[in-house]
């Protein structure tokens, strides 16, 4: 995957909490998602929605490519539901759609399995495979 050409580097605002936000730099994944560094830990990478809120409470600790692969997975499964963020930018789309989309329960269970840090995308996929079988 050629990240430099496929996903442009952008600046966006991300929230530290519900009141404080800061300027972040990352990759734009479609119209709804950004992959950028976590506000509190520079060495971990998060997925943010277009309003600057974390999409899931996971941090990737290896490299940007793993977080981008995960964002692509989110986009593939949830893109029809991202519109929920227009009414509530903090909506937990995986939770709200876990019984609606194919493999939604397995995806949601995998996200919940990791309390916060995921070492790699492959690690996420291994756990996801166990939940979906």
Predicted pLDDT of residue 5 = 60
* Residue 83 CB neighbours (<10 A): 11
Angle at alpha carbon of residue 72, lines to 41 and 44, rounded to 5°: 10
Per-residue pLDDT of the chain (133 residues), as tens digits, is: 444 468 998 999 888 777 777 888 889 999 999 998 765 555 678 888 999 988 988 888 776 788 899 999 999 999 999 999 999 999 999 999 999 999 999 999 999 998 777 878 899 999 999 998 8
Predicted pLDDT of residue 2 = 42
Cα–Cα distance, 72 to 30 (Å, whole number): 9
How many domains does the chain fold into? 1
Predicted pLDDT of residue 41 = 53
Cα–Cα distance, 128 to 124 (Å, whole number): 6
Cα–Cα distance, 75 to 33 (Å, whole number): 8
Domain range holding 77?
3-132
Cα–Cα distance, 51 to 15 (Å, whole number): 9
Determine which helix (DSSP H) or strand (DSSP E) holds 69, and give its type and residue range. Answer: helix 64-78
């Amino acid at each position: 995957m050629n990240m430099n050409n496929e996903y442009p580097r952008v600046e966006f605002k991300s929230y530290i909490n519900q009141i404080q936000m800061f300027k972040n730099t990352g990759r734009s994944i479609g119209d709804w998602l950004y992959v950028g560094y976590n506000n509190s830990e520079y060495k971990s990478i998060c997925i943010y929605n277009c309003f600057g809120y974390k999409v899931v409470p996971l941090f990737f600790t290896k490299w940007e490519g793993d977080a981008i692969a995960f964002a692509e997975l989110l986009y593939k499964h949830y893109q029809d539901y991202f519109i929920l963020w227009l009414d509530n930018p903090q909506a937990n789309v995986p939770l709200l759609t876990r019984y609606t989309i194919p493999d939604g329960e397995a995806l949601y269970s995998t996200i919940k399995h990791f309390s916060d840090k995921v070492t790699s995308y492959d690690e996420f996929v291994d756990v996801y495979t166990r939940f979906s079988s």
